[in-house]
Protein backbone atom coordinates (compact mmCIF):
# COMPACT_ATOMS: atom_id res chain seq x y z
CA UNK A 1 0.00 0.00 0.00
CA UNK A 2 1.14 3.52 -0.64
CA UNK A 3 1.62 5.72 2.33
CA UNK A 4 0.49 9.02 0.87
CA UNK A 5 -3.16 9.90 1.13
CA UNK A 6 -5.33 9.04 -1.88
CA UNK A 7 -6.95 11.74 -3.97
CA UNK A 8 -10.39 11.36 -2.46
CA UNK A 9 -12.89 13.95 -3.47
CA UNK A 10 -16.57 13.42 -3.87
CA UNK A 11 -17.42 13.45 -7.52
CA UNK A 12 -20.18 15.85 -8.51
CA UNK A 13 -23.41 14.01 -9.37
CA UNK A 14 -25.09 15.52 -12.43
CA UNK A 15 -28.81 16.27 -12.27
CA UNK A 16 -30.83 13.55 -14.00
CA UNK A 17 -32.08 14.56 -17.42
CA UNK A 18 -29.59 17.43 -17.68
CA UNK A 19 -27.21 17.95 -20.57
CA UNK A 20 -24.23 16.68 -18.60
CA UNK A 21 -26.16 13.57 -17.58
CA UNK A 22 -27.12 12.87 -21.19
CA UNK A 23 -23.51 13.24 -22.25
CA UNK A 24 -22.45 10.78 -19.52
CA UNK A 25 -25.04 8.28 -20.73
CA UNK A 26 -23.86 8.68 -24.32
CA UNK A 27 -20.28 7.99 -23.21
CA UNK A 28 -21.45 4.89 -21.36
CA UNK A 29 -23.35 3.61 -24.39
CA UNK A 30 -20.28 4.23 -26.51
CA UNK A 31 -18.16 2.22 -24.05
CA UNK A 32 -20.51 -0.77 -24.17
CA UNK A 33 -20.80 -0.47 -27.95
CA UNK A 34 -17.03 -0.46 -28.38
CA UNK A 35 -16.52 -3.51 -26.15
CA UNK A 36 -19.03 -5.46 -28.26
CA UNK A 37 -17.50 -4.38 -31.57
CA UNK A 38 -13.94 -4.98 -30.47
CA UNK A 39 -14.78 -8.38 -29.12
CA UNK A 40 -16.64 -9.69 -32.16
CA UNK A 41 -14.26 -8.22 -34.70
CA UNK A 42 -11.31 -9.87 -33.00
CA UNK A 43 -13.16 -13.16 -32.72
CA UNK A 44 -11.53 -15.24 -35.43
CA UNK A 45 -14.32 -17.81 -35.58
CA UNK A 46 -16.96 -15.21 -36.29
CA UNK A 47 -14.79 -13.54 -38.88
CA UNK A 48 -14.08 -16.81 -40.70
CA UNK A 49 -17.82 -17.53 -40.77
CA UNK A 50 -18.48 -14.04 -42.04
CA UNK A 51 -16.16 -14.57 -45.00
CA UNK A 52 -16.66 -18.25 -45.82
CA UNK A 53 -20.46 -18.20 -45.70
CA UNK A 54 -20.96 -15.69 -48.52
CA UNK A 55 -18.09 -17.22 -50.48
CA UNK A 56 -19.91 -20.57 -50.48
CA UNK A 57 -23.19 -19.06 -51.49
CA UNK A 58 -21.79 -16.83 -54.20
CA UNK A 59 -19.12 -19.12 -55.62
CA UNK A 60 -20.82 -22.50 -55.40
CA UNK A 61 -24.52 -21.78 -55.56
CA UNK A 62 -24.33 -18.51 -57.47
CA UNK A 63 -21.84 -19.62 -60.09
CA UNK A 64 -23.24 -23.14 -60.24
CA UNK A 65 -26.84 -22.17 -60.83
CA UNK A 66 -26.04 -19.23 -63.07
CA UNK A 67 -26.69 -21.08 -66.38
CA UNK A 68 -30.09 -22.33 -65.21
CA UNK A 69 -31.44 -18.91 -64.35
CA UNK A 70 -33.60 -18.39 -67.40
CA UNK A 71 -37.21 -19.32 -67.35
CA UNK A 72 -37.16 -21.51 -70.45
CA UNK A 73 -39.46 -24.47 -70.60
CA UNK A 74 -39.14 -26.55 -73.77
CA UNK A 75 -37.62 -23.56 -75.58
CA UNK A 76 -40.41 -21.20 -74.56
CA UNK A 77 -39.17 -18.28 -72.53
CA UNK A 78 -41.86 -17.93 -69.89
CA UNK A 79 -40.29 -15.00 -68.14
CA UNK A 80 -37.02 -13.23 -68.23
CA UNK A 81 -35.15 -11.72 -65.37
CA UNK A 82 -32.65 -9.39 -66.98
CA UNK A 83 -29.93 -10.37 -64.54
CA UNK A 84 -27.58 -13.22 -64.00
CA UNK A 85 -28.27 -15.54 -61.08
CA UNK A 86 -25.08 -14.29 -59.47
CA UNK A 87 -26.43 -10.76 -59.55
CA UNK A 88 -29.79 -11.93 -58.37
CA UNK A 89 -28.55 -13.88 -55.36
CA UNK A 90 -25.91 -11.33 -54.30
CA UNK A 91 -28.15 -8.95 -52.29
CA UNK A 92 -29.68 -12.00 -50.61
CA UNK A 93 -26.26 -13.21 -49.51
CA UNK A 94 -25.57 -9.81 -47.93
CA UNK A 95 -28.81 -10.15 -46.00
CA UNK A 96 -27.89 -13.73 -45.02
CA UNK A 97 -24.62 -12.52 -43.56
CA UNK A 98 -26.43 -9.78 -41.66
CA UNK A 99 -28.99 -12.24 -40.28
CA UNK A 100 -26.36 -14.66 -39.03
CA UNK A 101 -24.01 -12.12 -37.55
CA UNK A 102 -26.58 -10.00 -35.80
CA UNK A 103 -28.45 -12.87 -34.20
CA UNK A 104 -25.14 -14.49 -33.29
CA UNK A 105 -23.90 -11.33 -31.62
CA UNK A 106 -26.55 -11.77 -28.95
CA UNK A 107 -24.44 -14.69 -27.73
CA UNK A 108 -22.39 -12.01 -26.00
CA UNK A 109 -25.37 -11.46 -23.71
CA UNK A 110 -25.32 -15.14 -22.73
CA UNK A 111 -21.58 -14.91 -22.27
CA UNK A 112 -21.89 -11.87 -20.02
CA UNK A 113 -24.69 -13.49 -18.09
CA UNK A 114 -22.91 -16.80 -17.54
CA UNK A 115 -19.58 -15.23 -16.63
CA UNK A 116 -21.04 -12.51 -14.47
CA UNK A 117 -19.98 -9.43 -16.39
CA UNK A 118 -23.60 -8.46 -16.96
CA UNK A 119 -23.96 -7.69 -13.25
CA UNK A 120 -21.03 -5.30 -13.41
CA UNK A 121 -22.89 -3.43 -16.14
CA UNK A 122 -26.23 -3.58 -14.35
CA UNK A 123 -24.84 -1.88 -11.22
CA UNK A 124 -23.33 0.94 -13.26
CA UNK A 125 -25.24 4.22 -13.29
CA UNK A 126 -26.40 3.64 -16.88
CA UNK A 127 -30.16 3.15 -17.30
CA UNK A 128 -31.02 -0.36 -18.42
CA UNK A 129 -32.46 0.66 -21.77
CA UNK A 130 -29.22 2.36 -22.67
CA UNK A 131 -27.20 -0.69 -21.69
CA UNK A 132 -29.38 -2.60 -24.12
CA UNK A 133 -28.95 0.12 -26.74
CA UNK A 134 -25.16 -0.13 -26.46
CA UNK A 135 -25.30 -3.89 -26.90
CA UNK A 136 -27.68 -3.77 -29.86
CA UNK A 137 -25.70 -1.01 -31.56
CA UNK A 138 -22.54 -3.07 -31.06
CA UNK A 139 -24.11 -6.18 -32.60
CA UNK A 140 -25.58 -4.15 -35.47
CA UNK A 141 -22.23 -2.54 -36.20
CA UNK A 142 -20.51 -5.91 -36.39
CA UNK A 143 -23.22 -7.21 -38.69
CA UNK A 144 -22.89 -4.22 -41.00
CA UNK A 145 -19.14 -4.86 -41.17
CA UNK A 146 -19.88 -8.46 -42.17
CA UNK A 147 -22.37 -7.20 -44.76
CA UNK A 148 -19.70 -4.90 -46.15
CA UNK A 149 -17.32 -7.86 -46.44
CA UNK A 150 -19.76 -9.26 -48.99
CA UNK A 151 -20.38 -5.93 -50.65
CA UNK A 152 -16.64 -5.53 -51.15
CA UNK A 153 -16.64 -8.30 -53.76
CA UNK A 154 -19.71 -6.98 -55.62
CA UNK A 155 -17.53 -6.25 -58.61
CA UNK A 156 -16.93 -9.95 -59.15
CA UNK A 157 -20.64 -10.58 -59.31
CA UNK A 158 -20.79 -7.88 -61.95
CA UNK A 159 -22.63 -5.39 -59.80
CA UNK A 160 -21.91 -1.71 -60.38
CA UNK A 161 -22.68 0.74 -57.64
CA UNK A 162 -22.17 4.41 -56.94
CA UNK A 163 -21.25 5.85 -53.60
CA UNK A 164 -24.87 6.77 -52.92
CA UNK A 165 -25.90 3.14 -53.49
CA UNK A 166 -23.32 1.96 -50.98
CA UNK A 167 -24.63 4.48 -48.46
CA UNK A 168 -28.21 3.35 -49.02
CA UNK A 169 -27.21 -0.31 -48.77
CA UNK A 170 -25.39 0.37 -45.51
CA UNK A 171 -28.38 2.18 -44.06
CA UNK A 172 -30.65 -0.73 -44.93
CA UNK A 173 -28.12 -3.23 -43.56
CA UNK A 174 -27.99 -1.28 -40.33
CA UNK A 175 -31.77 -1.16 -39.91
CA UNK A 176 -32.06 -4.89 -40.55
CA UNK A 177 -29.13 -5.67 -38.25
CA UNK A 178 -30.55 -3.50 -35.48
CA UNK A 179 -33.84 -5.39 -35.54
CA UNK A 180 -32.21 -8.81 -35.80
CA UNK A 181 -29.78 -8.15 -32.95
CA UNK A 182 -32.74 -7.14 -30.80
CA UNK A 183 -34.42 -10.39 -31.77
CA UNK A 184 -31.24 -12.24 -30.81
CA UNK A 185 -31.34 -10.58 -27.38
CA UNK A 186 -34.91 -11.73 -26.90
CA UNK A 187 -33.90 -15.29 -27.78
CA UNK A 188 -30.78 -15.14 -25.61
CA UNK A 189 -32.97 -14.12 -22.72
CA UNK A 190 -34.96 -17.31 -23.06
CA UNK A 191 -32.25 -19.91 -23.58
CA UNK A 192 -30.13 -21.32 -20.81
CA UNK A 193 -26.76 -21.99 -22.41
CA UNK A 194 -24.69 -21.50 -25.52
CA UNK A 195 -25.73 -24.74 -27.24
CA UNK A 196 -29.42 -23.92 -27.06
CA UNK A 197 -28.80 -20.61 -28.71
CA UNK A 198 -26.99 -22.13 -31.69
CA UNK A 199 -29.85 -24.50 -32.43
CA UNK A 200 -32.40 -21.75 -31.99
CA UNK A 201 -30.65 -19.26 -34.24
CA UNK A 202 -30.08 -21.78 -37.03
CA UNK A 203 -33.69 -22.86 -36.87
CA UNK A 204 -34.65 -19.23 -37.29
CA UNK A 205 -32.10 -17.82 -39.72
CA UNK A 206 -32.25 -20.47 -42.45
CA UNK A 207 -36.06 -20.55 -42.87
CA UNK A 208 -36.13 -16.75 -42.79
CA UNK A 209 -33.48 -16.69 -45.49
CA UNK A 210 -34.94 -19.37 -47.75
CA UNK A 211 -38.44 -17.93 -47.71
CA UNK A 212 -37.30 -14.38 -48.29
CA UNK A 213 -37.24 -14.78 -52.07
CA UNK A 214 -33.47 -14.49 -51.83
CA UNK A 215 -32.57 -17.65 -53.74
CA UNK A 216 -35.44 -17.66 -56.25
CA UNK A 217 -37.68 -14.89 -57.56
CA UNK A 218 -41.42 -14.90 -57.54
CA UNK A 219 -41.90 -14.14 -61.19
CA UNK A 220 -42.40 -10.40 -61.54
CA UNK A 221 -43.94 -10.67 -65.02
CA UNK A 222 -46.76 -12.89 -63.87
CA UNK A 223 -50.03 -11.72 -62.44
CA UNK A 224 -50.85 -12.87 -58.96
CA UNK A 225 -53.14 -15.56 -60.40
CA UNK A 226 -50.37 -16.85 -62.64
CA UNK A 227 -47.88 -16.81 -59.75
CA UNK A 228 -50.20 -18.94 -57.74
CA UNK A 229 -50.35 -21.42 -60.59
CA UNK A 230 -46.57 -21.56 -60.97
CA UNK A 231 -45.76 -21.83 -57.30
CA UNK A 232 -47.63 -23.66 -54.57
CA UNK A 233 -49.94 -21.37 -52.68
CA UNK A 234 -48.28 -22.00 -49.31
CA UNK A 235 -44.88 -20.97 -50.59
CA UNK A 236 -46.17 -17.70 -51.98
CA UNK A 237 -47.92 -17.04 -48.71
CA UNK A 238 -44.73 -17.77 -46.75
CA UNK A 239 -42.62 -15.53 -48.91
CA UNK A 240 -45.09 -12.70 -48.69
CA UNK A 241 -45.49 -13.07 -44.95
CA UNK A 242 -41.75 -13.07 -44.29
CA UNK A 243 -40.68 -9.52 -43.43
CA UNK A 244 -37.13 -10.26 -44.55
CA UNK A 245 -38.48 -10.68 -48.11
CA UNK A 246 -39.00 -6.94 -48.30
CA UNK A 247 -35.55 -6.13 -46.93
CA UNK A 248 -33.98 -8.44 -49.54
CA UNK A 249 -36.15 -6.93 -52.24
CA UNK A 250 -35.18 -3.37 -51.39
CA UNK A 251 -31.52 -4.38 -51.16
CA UNK A 252 -31.87 -5.82 -54.64
CA UNK A 253 -33.50 -2.62 -55.78
CA UNK A 254 -30.55 -0.62 -54.49
CA UNK A 255 -27.85 -2.90 -55.92
CA UNK A 256 -29.20 -4.18 -59.24
CA UNK A 257 -32.35 -2.14 -59.73
CA UNK A 258 -34.66 -5.14 -59.69
CA UNK A 259 -37.78 -5.10 -57.51
CA UNK A 260 -40.69 -7.42 -56.97
CA UNK A 261 -42.36 -5.09 -54.48
CA UNK A 262 -42.40 -1.32 -54.09
CA UNK A 263 -39.01 -0.05 -52.87
CA UNK A 264 -40.50 2.00 -50.03
CA UNK A 265 -42.19 -1.07 -48.59
CA UNK A 266 -38.82 -2.61 -47.74
CA UNK A 267 -37.68 0.51 -45.88
CA UNK A 268 -40.93 0.73 -43.97
CA UNK A 269 -41.05 -2.91 -42.96
CA UNK A 270 -37.37 -3.09 -42.02
CA UNK A 271 -37.66 0.14 -40.02
CA UNK A 272 -40.79 -1.07 -38.24
CA UNK A 273 -39.04 -4.36 -37.50
CA UNK A 274 -36.04 -2.54 -35.99
CA UNK A 275 -38.24 -0.37 -33.79
CA UNK A 276 -40.67 -3.12 -32.80
CA UNK A 277 -38.05 -5.72 -31.98
CA UNK A 278 -36.02 -3.22 -29.98
CA UNK A 279 -39.06 -2.40 -27.85
CA UNK A 280 -39.64 -6.13 -27.43
CA UNK A 281 -36.02 -6.55 -26.34
CA UNK A 282 -36.42 -3.62 -23.93
CA UNK A 283 -39.33 -5.33 -22.23
CA UNK A 284 -37.36 -8.57 -22.05
CA UNK A 285 -34.26 -6.84 -20.73
CA UNK A 286 -36.20 -5.44 -17.78
CA UNK A 287 -36.87 -8.94 -16.54
CA UNK A 288 -33.20 -9.87 -16.34
Partner 1 sequence: MSQTNTATDAAPLPAIAVEGLSQRYGRTLALDNISLTVPTGSLFALIGPNGAGKSTLIDILCTIRAPLSGRALVAGLDVSRDPRGVRRRIGVIFQNSTLDTRLSVFDNLQFHARVHAMDRAERHERIDYMLDLVQLTEWRRSPVRALSAGMKRRLEIARGLLHDPEILFMDEPTVGLDPQSRANIWQYLAELRQRTGLTIVVTTHYIDEVGGADQVCVIDRGKILVHGTPAALKAAHGTTLLRLQPEGEDGRAAILSAHPDAIDTPDGTMLVRFASLPEAEGALAALRGRIGLATLEPPSLESVFLNLTGRALREEAPAPGRGKAQAGRGRK
Binding site for partner 1 (CB under 8 A): 1-2, 5-11, 13-14, 16, 24, 27-28, 31-32, 35, 39, 115-127
Distance between CA atoms of residues 262 and 210, nearest Å: 21
- Least CB distance to partner 1 at residue 136 (A): 16
CB of 280 to partner 1, least distance (A): 21
Residue whose CB is less far from partner 1, 130 or 231: 130
Instruction: For the CB of residue 27, give the shortest distance to partner 1 in the complex, in Å.
Output: 6
Going by C-alpha positions, the residue among 241, 210, 183 that lies closest to residue 89 is 210
Nearer CB in complex with partner 1: 17/82: 17
Handedness of CA 276, 281, 282, 287 (dihedral sign): positive
CA distance 20 to 257: 46
By beta-carbon proximity to partner 1, the closer residue of 96 and 126 is 126
| Angle at which helices 163-190 and 128-151 cross, to 10° | 130
Dihedral pair phi/psi, residue 81, rounded to 5°: -95, 125
- Nearer to partner 1 among residue 30 and residue 268 (C-beta): 30
Q: Which residues of 51-60 are buried (b: 16+ CB within 10 A; e: fewer)?
A: eebbeebbee
Minimum CB separation from partner 1 for residue 191, in Å? 20
- Residues 86, 69: Cα–Cα separation, whole Å: 9
Q: Minimum distance from CB of 109 to partner 1 (Å)?
A: 13
Q: Name the minimum Å distance from CB 90 to partner 1.
A: 35
Rank residues 68 and 115 by Cβ distance to partner 1 and give the closer one. 115
Rank residues 117 and 156 by Cβ distance to partner 1 and give the closer one. Answer: 117
Pick the closest to residue 96 from 214, 12, 11 (CA basis).
Answer: 214
Strand partners, 72: 77
Classify residue 61 by its DSSP letter: I
Amino acid sequence: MTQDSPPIRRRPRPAPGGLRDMWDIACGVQTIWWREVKRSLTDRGQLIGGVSRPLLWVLILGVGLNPFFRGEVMGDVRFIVPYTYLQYIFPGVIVLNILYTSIQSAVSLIWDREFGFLREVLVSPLPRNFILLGKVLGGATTAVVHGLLVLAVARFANIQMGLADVGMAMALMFLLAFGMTSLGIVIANHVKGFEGFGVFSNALVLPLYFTSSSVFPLDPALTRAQTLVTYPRWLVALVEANPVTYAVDTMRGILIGFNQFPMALGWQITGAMAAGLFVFAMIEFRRL
